[in-house]
Amino acid sequence: MDSITQIALGAAIGEAVLGRRIGNRAALWGGLCGLFPDLDVLIPFGGAVENFTYHRGFSHSIFVLTALTPVLVWFILKIHPGTREYRTRWGVLVFLALITHILLDGLTVYGTQILWPLPTPPVMWSTLFIIDPVYSIPLIGGVLAAVIMSRKRGRGHRFNTVCLALSTVYLVWSIGAKVYVNDTVKHELARQNIAYQNVLTVPTPFNTVLWRVLVMDDQGYYEGFYSLLDQQRNIRFIHYPRNEQLLDGLAEHWPVQRLRWFTHGFYAVQQRDDAIVLSDLRMGLEPYYVFQFKVAEMGNPHPVPTPGQPIRGNRGAERLPWVWQRIWNP
């Protein structure tokens, strides 16, 4: 999720765990711990593909963050020695703020290497868009209420707890919505007699009502959309070529290997002038994708590998009004 939401989630947890005992310091440290895993964006990993695929790596590992928890608690108590009697609660606060960060990131489609350093593909449960106001606004409101309202009667603390519960219920809703959409997609693929290798359902920007469906087959991929408000469980699929042949001779090229692994195979290839470009199909709407990399140049007779270079272009912001309309109108 976006960093503001992660800060708000950490602050809400901090307030819930220690707010009534130590005041605003609980929300402050909860917010800082909620942000902490994302500081890996400040680390230069050596290249565009490296920066893209090493983000949410070691800093999002449940093993690393669990080991780091007592270190952070020790540091906090050095700054606030008067709160040593709450050492256990500090540990709970720090651990929950860190772990909920990576679990929340796992609910997006980007990919989170929760089990690093194990060589497992990144987790991408894809039940939430990376920015979802319905989830974020209650968290922010609850934290602001706790910080601003008088603590004498605990109203702000209770309001924060209620808002945290509401956001959690929304997470559960998103999981249930995805299960329902997945069932609908499987039904439609069988009804339309579409053979496939893999399927991915992803909520479209800023909501969990309209879902994008990505279906990979031997020749390419299908894109379709399904709204929970559609009166019929029909999905119109459009097929696009994957152009896998453009990667002939590049199987051992590290950026290609890494991107294939990181995207779980949800990628496509295009030739743009002399460049061979690999696009991550998980994030975007056809034909606009957020992450695209030049991995080679056309050669004779074989392509010439190049360091992965990001391709900047239109990310399809003009399609957002269509998303809103498609929610209501099939």
Structural domain contains residue 167: yes
- Domain assignment of residue 14, yes or no: yes
Tell whether 32 and 89 lie within a shared domain: yes
Our count of domains for the chain comes to 2
* Integer CA distances (angstroms), 162 to 59, 118, 122, 128, 275, in order: 30, 37, 32, 21, 53
Residues 167 and 294 in one domain: no
Same domain, 222 and 167: no
CB neighbours of residue 102 within 10 Å: 21
- 300 pLDDT more than 90: no
Question: Which ranges in the chain belong to alpha helices (H)?
Answer: 3-22, 24-35, 48-54, 62-79, 87-106, 133-148, 155-191, 254-262, 320-328
Give the residue-averaged pLDDT of 298-327.
89
Residues 7 and 74 in one domain: yes
Residue 10 shares a structural domain with residue 147 = yes
In a domain? residue 185: no
Cβ neighbors of 110 (< 8 A, separation 6 or more) are 56, 122, 124, 130, 282, 283
Whether residue 152 is predicted with pLDDT greater than 90 in this model: the reply is no
What pLDDT is recorded for position 241? 97
CA dist 261 and 178 (Å) reads: 23
Q: Decide if 187 is inside a domain.
A: no
Of 125, 147, 174, the residue that ends a domain is: 174
Crossing angle for the helix pair 24-35 and 3-22, nearest 10 degrees?
Answer: 150
Q: Note down the domain range covering 208.
A: 192-330
**87 and 167 part of one domain:** yes
Q: Which residues pair with 280 in a beta bridge?
A: 267
Is 179 contained in some domain?
no
Segment 201-216 mean pLDDT: 98
Could you report the per-residue pLDDT of 238-275, keeping only the tens digit for each?
999 999 999 999 999 999 999 999 999 999 999 999 99
Q: What is the mean pLDDT of residues 280-306?
A: 93
pLDDT tens figures, 140-150 = 999 999 999 87
pLDDT of residue 193: 97
Query: Does 181 map to a domain?
Result: no
Instruction: Report how far residue 197's alpha carbon sits from residue 218's, in angstroms, rounded to the nearest whole number.
Output: 7
Q: Please enumerate in sequence order all residues whose Cβ is within 8 A of that of 123, keeping only pairs 6 or more positions apart, or say none.
A: 106, 111, 112, 113, 114, 115
Structure-model confidence comparison of residues 116 and 300, the more confident one: 116
Same domain, 134 and 199: no
Task: Among 113, 147, 174, identify where a domain stops.
Answer: 174
User: Is the sign of the CA dihedral 310, 119, 124, 71 positive or negative?
Assistant: negative
Domain membership flag for residue 183: no
Report percent pLDDT > 90 for the chain: 92
Q: Are residues 141 and 219 located together in one domain of the fold?
A: no
Instruction: Answer yes or no: do 71 and 203 share one domain.
Output: no
Same domain, 139 and 12: yes
Q: Are residues 163 and 209 in the same domain?
A: no
Number of H helices, E strands in the chain: 9, 10
**Residue 104 domain-assigned?**
yes
Mean pLDDT of the chain: 95
